[in-house]
């Protein structure tokens, strides 16, 4: 399910299946996308931040078109205890690899991987970032 911002329209609440993972996409070429994500975060229930949220920064291949300070995005990830992934959607290989990563994270968040919970996975990712 794709949405340009949060909150989701309430009319469809009872049709909506359970949400296992929220991926916030930030386009490095658009300051607006970062502002939009920051505003949308306020509408997310706190329980999601126990491993069911991740940030995906796109367009990182184009360093010269960068409109966002990437350290600000990393600080956002730290503030919300959620991983930040970087990718370049225009490169097919990276696009496919990123999709596979997100799918894996989704499987964990949906409880499909035995013995790995969303919370344990995100703390695993955080400790490898610190290294």
Q: How far is the CB of 84 from other proteins (least distance, A)?
A: 17
3-state class percentages of the chain: helix first, strand second, coil last, to nearest 5:
50, 10, 40
Residue 33 is a binding residue for other proteins (CB under 8 A): yes
Give the footprint of other proteins on residues 57-116 (CB under 8 A): 63-69, 71-72
Q: In angstroms, what CA-CA distances link 12 with 7, 17, 45, 68, 112?
A: 12, 10, 18, 34, 26
Residue 3 is a binding residue for other proteins (CB under 8 A): no
Q: How many residues bind other proteins (CB under 8 A)?
A: 15
Residue with tokens 């309430």: 10
Q: How far is the CB of 27 from other proteins (least distance, A)?
A: 9
Residue ranges in contact with other proteins by CB under 8 A: 29-33, 35, 63-69, 71-72
């Amino acid at each position: 399910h794709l949405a340009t911002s949060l909150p989701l329209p309430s009319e469809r609440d009872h049709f909506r299946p359970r949400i296992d993972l929220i991926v916030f996409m930030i386009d490095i070429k658009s300051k607006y996308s970062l502002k939009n994500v920051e505003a949308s975060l306020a509408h997310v229930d706190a329980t999601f931040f126990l491993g069911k949220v991740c940030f995906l920064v796109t367009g990182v291949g184009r360093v010269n078109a960068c409109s966002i300070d990437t350290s600000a995005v990393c600080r956002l990830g730290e503030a919300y205890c959620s991983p930040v992934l970087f990718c370049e959607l225009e490169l097919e290989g990276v696009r496919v690899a990123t999709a596979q990563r997100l799918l894996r994270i989704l499987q964990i968040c949906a409880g499909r991987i035995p013995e790995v919970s969303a919370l344990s996975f995100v703390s695993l990712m955080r400790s490898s970032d610190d290294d």
